[in-house]
């Protein structure tokens, strides 16, 4: 039974990796944009995963004020994750536009954008290891001191020390 669970995790991961590899590349500008603030706006946004599947979002408009917390609540399959991933810049809209500080996301330098938006997926996976080792998975040569420094910046170092 353990093997079946692990196989399911592998299948999900392979599917997600395949979707990334097959996705069209998003093009970003090479210079910083002049942002008025960090407000996010979706204007008449439509989104389609694949042409043959049809639209999954149609005419969505949404305003999220700067320095606020917003929860997307709805039924399974209602488009919450798609909206979050469009705001996070993982995908491009099929119609309409998403803006940050009144600037279309397509016009915001990726490094600048990443300082403004944080995304935490609902589909997280932790390996059967310590928290420290899970943090280290993206770069195995990272020292304990570097892991602790990053955890301190994220303000979760006390929590991690307590678990380890």
Rg (CA), the chain: 19
- Comparing CA positions, the residue from 138, 98, 135 lying closest to residue 117 is 98
125-130 average pLDDT score: 76
Q: How far is CA 8 from CA 3, 104, 121, 129, in A?
A: 9, 38, 18, 19
Higher per-residue pLDDT: 162 or 98: 98
Q: pLDDT for 66-101, tens place per residue?
A: 888 888 898 988 889 889 989 988 888 989 999 998
Tell me the pTM: 0.62
As a dihedral over the C-alpha atoms of residue 44, residue 49, residue 51, residue 55, rounded to 10 degrees, the angle is -40
Distance CA 2, CA 120 (A): 27
Distance CA 116, CA 39 (A): 10
DSSP lists the bridge partners of residue 55 as: 48
């Amino acid at each position: 039974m353990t093997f079946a669970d692990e196989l399911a995790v592998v299948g999900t991961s392979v599917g997600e990796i395949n979707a990334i590899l097959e996705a069209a590349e998003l093009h970003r500008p090479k210079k910083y944009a002049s942002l008025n603030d960090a407000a996010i706006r979706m204007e008449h946004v439509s989104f389609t995963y694949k042409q043959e599947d049809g639209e999954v979002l149609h005419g969505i408009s949404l305003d999220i004020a700067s320095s606020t917390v917003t929860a997307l609540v709805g039924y399974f399959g209602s488009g919450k994750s798609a909206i979050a991933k469009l705001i996070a810049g993982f995908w491009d809209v099929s119609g309409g536009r998403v803006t940050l500080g009144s600037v279309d996301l397509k016009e915001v330098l990726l490094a600048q954008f990443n300082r403004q938006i944080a995304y935490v997926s609902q589909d997280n996976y932790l390996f059967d290891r310590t928290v420290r080792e899970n943090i280290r998975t993206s770069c195995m040569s990272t020292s304990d001191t570097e892991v602790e420094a990053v955890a301190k910046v994220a303000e979760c170092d006390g929590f991690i020390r307590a678990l380890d």
